[in-house]
Structure 1
Amino acid sequence: MSNTGLHPALERADALYELRRYDEAKALLGQRLAEDPEDVGAWVRLARCLAEQGERAEALEATERALAIDPEHISALLQHARALQSNSRITEAEEPLREVIRLAPEYWYGYALLGHWLYRIRALRFGQANGGTVTQEALTGFLREADELALTAIRLAPEEVFPYEVRWGIARMADDEAVKNEMDRAILRLDPHHPEALARHTRQAATAPGVKAAEAAGLYADALAATPDSASLQQGLDHASYRLLRGVRWIALLSLGLAGTMLDLWTKEGEVPRELPVPLVQRLWYFVPVGVLWAVGALLRYRRLRMGVRYNLRSLIRRRRWPRIVLGQAAWAVLCALVISQVPWSGRGVPRIVFWAGLVPTLATIWFDRKKRT
């Protein structure tokens, strides 16, 4: 709606509202209403500031004052509908929104907001009339009606994001994955940094079958670079980073297995185990395959990670307990492997105990946290 001829006090109030200086905006609007109690725009703006500060009843009263002056004021009708919804009177919000559509049939926002709430309104009314129960058939009809409104809003304003968000929410209620994906693509086309759509799109790509932890972490890191305040994306990156850390334990267990093999801790019946103690050269040779394991499986893999993922790995270890447990277990398994492989044992009894001490706690925890996120 045009601001042509807007009173200077209302322009200043709009600027203060954008800066979230609601108390100052309210004071200025109060002065304006003292001068002209019939200024509908001032009442609407006052209601908006009151709503932002959680003064819902007062916001509703301000919209009623505005509509008493001008019952066909579009912004007043929209703000009145919002105030009704925030005061838990959403079923009454349909009437002012229908009036907006009647008065401004080419204004997309009335259709979008009504589509956003309509299936809830219909479900509440249906439930009140049927003992609190809403049938699936009835809900499908409500969603279809709401979807038609959202589609009308999209037709009227194809470059606005909100109608696509509304249709995504309707598709979620209808469990329509195809429409949800279509709406996410449309939202990201209009707003590549849209936090929710970007988080959903990234999560879908990162959790697709066959996507490895390093690739998933890279996807989340790229998305976080665009929307650094997204808690959902940060959670996804933390989970992918934790998956990377868990892989370190398997390298540690392989190191432990190589140490046990070097000492022939378990031999088949009829086989003669090698003599103990193992010569020094063979004990030192143990570091060659183990070094290759760690260089390829951990160091090289780490160096290939994006810088953002590296930073998050270090941050995750500082912030969360389980990543520290994982690294501690890997270190313990490696320590047991070194004790087995580097001490010149003359018998196999103690090395077997050390082997099980390194293996069992680590394997048990791998099983325990196989579905753990962080």
Structure 2
Amino acid sequence: MTTTPHPAVERAGLLIGLKRYEEARELLTGRLTEDPEDVRAWVKLAASHLGDVKNGAKALEATERALALDAEDIGALTTHAHALRHAGRFPETEGVLREAIRLAPDHWHPYALLADWLWRIRMVSSGQANGGAALREDLVAALREADLVAREAIRLGPEEVYPYEVAWLIADMSADRSAADRMDEAILRLDPQHELALARWTKKTATAPGVNATQAATLYADALATAPASGPMRQGLDAASYRLLRGLRWPALLCLALAAVGVDLFAAQGETQRELPLAFGQRLWDLVPMAVVWTLGALLRYRRLRAGIRVNLRSLVRRLTWSRVVLGQAVWAMLCALLITQIPWTERTVPLVLFWAGLVPSVATMWFDRPRTG
């Protein structure tokens, strides 16, 4: 029996970390042929089976051999619990983890693992006792019990991320948003690149009341710089970028309204409408406020965006049909505004048709297309 890991076992552990499970098993098989009483080698062999094909039976056999050599080995006990779970004997894991806690009452990991699994075990028992449907009151009690264990894991391992992850899950299942937010803050304090916690915090901040599309897109872009592979944050950036594209319709509709004012489309009671056709100089002048609207309302905002957000806007137009729809509506409304002001109309019938043709498509879909971000 070895007290410190053999070099071959250490190398196998590194290979398991790299997910090269078959190579790890070859090393461990050779080591166990040399010394069949190497507890650490049996534990690592079980871990290789769990990591590769989730072979609970072989992992269980390996952990049983390890525990036969040393029934009080904490690593063997926790790996045995994993093996039991993958072998379909989930309820038995509670007793194994409680034994690990009894043997190592100051070690945080068995507490965290028990808290993670305890409420699930209770739900399995509740479902079996109630015809397959777990009771809500049993879930509440199980979550309360698991929360106490998770708090003990945090007390024993305040600088470890896993206990906070477990506590977050329990708080989320309990619909305790304030507790879940506190756990996310703790996780990000320990691991600023934690993908899930960062995605949740960014979504919470970006969707808070008063946060506009530009601010939301910037938050997601900053978060993606930390965790570029995060799917949820890419979806969040897409949603914020889509809000930016939807906002382009407002400058276009404002220009359409300015065009209607420029040709005096709607007669006010007691006032004489402007004589048509408009002079060439007047038609050119009508372009000035439109240029100001687009410069202030779109061009300057676009130039101030992060380069990554600008790239994502162009990508979103290629990928998402509704992005092309809202962009097309803005272009169409602007085209109608230009036709109204720049053609020397002699009567208002056609400009009036153009005004409604530019207005109605955008207004008709403005609320309907809000969720079209996927």
TM-score by structure 1 length? 0.94
Distance 1:13 1:23 in 2: 10
Residue in structure 2 matched with residue 268 of structure 1 by the alignment: 268
Residue in structure 2 matched with residue 211 of structure 1 by the alignment: 211
1:341 match: secondary structure:
helix
2:228 match: secondary structure:
coil
Cα RMSD of the aligned pairs, angstroms, is 1.8
Residue in structure 2 matched with residue 23 of structure 1 by the alignment: 22
In the alignment, structure 1 residue 45 sits paired with structure 2 residue 47: no
The letter of the residue matching 2:36 is P
2:323 match: secondary structure:
helix
Range with bigger deviation, 80-89 or 232-241? 80-89
How far residue 76 of structure 1 moved from its aligned partner, in angstroms, is 1.5
Distance 1:350 1:273 in 2: 16
2:105 match: secondary structure:
coil
The correspondence of residues 233-252 of structure 1 with structure 2, limited to 5 A, is: 233-252=233-252
The letter of the residue matching 1:47 is A
Distance 1:85 1:278 in 2: 81
Distance 1:321 1:83 in 2: 47
Residue in structure 2 matched with residue 75 of structure 1 by the alignment: 75
How far residue 270 of structure 1 moved from its aligned partner, in angstroms, is 4.5
Name stretches of at least 5 consecutive residues in structure 2 with no aligned partner: none
Percent identical pairs in the alignment equals 59
How far residue 4 of structure 1 moved from its aligned partner, in angstroms, is 6.3
* Residues 257 and 311 (structure 1), Cα distance of their counterparts in 2 relative to 1, 3 Å cut: same
The letter of the residue matching 2:101 is I
Residue in structure 2 matched with residue 186 of structure 1 by the alignment: 186
The letter of the residue matching 1:301 is R
State the number of aligned residues.
Answer: 372
Distance 1:274 1:103 in 2: 93
How far residue 86 of structure 1 moved from its aligned partner, in angstroms, is 2.8
Range with bigger deviation, 87-96 or 114-123? 87-96
Range with bigger deviation, 248-257 or 361-370? 361-370
Name stretches of at least 5 consecutive residues in structure 1 with no aligned partner: none
How far residue 121 of structure 1 moved from its aligned partner, in angstroms, is 0.6
Q: Deviations over 1:275-308 (max 9, x none)?
A: 1111111110111100110000001111222333
Distance 2:225 2:88 in 1: 38
Residue in structure 2 matched with residue 12 of structure 1 by the alignment: 11
The letter of the residue matching 2:41 is A
1:345 match: secondary structure:
coil
Range with bigger deviation, 249-258 or 36-45? 36-45
Residue in structure 2 matched with residue 147 of structure 1 by the alignment: 147
1:259 match: secondary structure:
helix
How far residue 132 of structure 1 moved from its aligned partner, in angstroms, is 3.0
TM-score by structure 2 length? 0.94
* Residues 4 and 191 (structure 1), Cα distance of their counterparts in 2 relative to 1, 3 Å cut: farther
Distance 1:242 1:50 in 2: 45
The letter of the residue matching 2:174 is A
How far residue 131 of structure 1 moved from its aligned partner, in angstroms, is 2.5
How far residue 269 of structure 1 moved from its aligned partner, in angstroms, is 4.6
Residue in structure 2 matched with residue 331 of structure 1 by the alignment: 331
Range with bigger deviation, 327-336 or 123-132? 123-132
How far residue 182 of structure 1 moved from its aligned partner, in angstroms, is 1.2
How far residue 255 of structure 1 moved from its aligned partner, in angstroms, is 1.1
Distance 1:12 1:283 in 2: 79
1:193 match: secondary structure:
coil
The correspondence of residues 91-106 of structure 1 with structure 2, limited to 5 A, is: 91-106=91-106
Distance 1:288 1:329 in 2: 22
Q: Deviations over 1:77-106 (max 9, x none)?
A: 111111222334321211111111111111
The letter of the residue matching 1:168 is W
How far residue 316 of structure 1 moved from its aligned partner, in angstroms, is 2.0
How far residue 171 of structure 1 moved from its aligned partner, in angstroms, is 0.8
The letter of the residue matching 2:87 is N
Distance 1:87 1:254 in 2: 65
1:368 match: secondary structure:
coil
The correspondence of residues 349-364 of structure 1 with structure 2, limited to 5 A, is: 349-364=349-364
Distance 2:335 2:65 in 1: 76
